Amino acid sequence: MASNPMYQFNVYRIGPEIKLGSVDISFTNASLFMVISSLAILIIFNLGAKKKTLIPDKLQLLSELSYTFVAKMISDTAGSKAKPYFSFIFSLFMFVLFCNMFGMIPYAFTVTSHIIVTFVLAAFIFIGVTIIGFIKHGLGYLKLFVPSGVPMVLLPLIVVIEIISYLSRPISLSVRLFANMMAGHTMMKVFGGFVISLGIVGGWLPLSFSVALTGLEILVAFLQAYVFAILTCIYLNDALNLHH
């Protein structure tokens, strides 16, 4: 059972079954790791923000570096108009990053390896960005689909392509994160299985590969969180500064 590389993605109920009407909202292992990630973020950043010393200690330095990192990312991609959305993007980046990183602990559950989680996040971003765009520019936001400097003949085609690419944003955003996490964890599980089945004689090769893969996966965990956040910034930039 445990040798199945997809087994690690199983969601199962922890504790009693909770029903809201006819809907099952039981506490699962996925919920557990969401709670753990959020709590870890809150504890780390609360400790980092508590002391107000001129020379920061390690936790304070960590929180301040993350703050300036995300702030710089937002101001670089979406400009100064995106400042009100800083806290949302910061929370998003930290949530995805911590879920990815907690997933790297052996036997832990990776929240972001589930398409439904990433899709909800991406759909929320998509809807939010679209609403912001229409509030800021009214119907002028539709100009996003009409790039300037395109010959009239090609315009209908381009508009259709633009609309499709705009509508596929939540799918590409969610599938990118989900597929990366799932593929990485499956691969690690497969190579871990090789170590067991080849035993002490031939297990060294997949073991060393597994070690290297762990490093790569930690990099991917960070990178995908960064990509998720920066794509959100880029979509936000489209909505705030309309100059397509």
Nearer to another protein, 165 or 172 (CB): 172
- Is 88 or 222 the residue whose CB approaches another protein more closely? 88
- Of 25, 161, 164, 167, the one binding another protein (CB under 8 A) is 25
Report in angstroms how near the CB of residue 238 gets to another protein at its nearest.
Answer: 22
Per CB under 8 A, the list member of 100, 113, 224, 237 interacting with another protein is: 113
Spell out the residues 6+ positions from residue 102 whose beta carbon is closer than 8 angstroms to its own: 33, 36, 37, 40, 108, 110, 111
Task: Give every CB contact of residue 32 below 8 A, 6+ residues apart in sequence.
Answer: 14, 109
Q: What tokens were used for 230? A: 């920066």
Among the listed residues 78, 51, 83, 81, the one whose alpha carbon sits nearest the alpha carbon of residue 67: 83
Q: Is residue 205 within the footprint of another protein (CB under 8 A)?
A: yes
Site mask for another protein (CB under 8 A), range 36-55, x = bound: -xx--xx--xx-xxx-x-x-
Phi first, then psi, for residue 22 (nearest 5°) are: -100, 5
Closest separation in Å from C-beta 119 to another protein = 9
C-beta separation of 13 from 31 below 8 A: no
Contact range with another protein by CB under 8 A, out of 61-69, 129-137, 150-158, 166-174: 61-69
Contact residue for another protein among 69, 86, 134, 226 (CB under 8 A) = 86
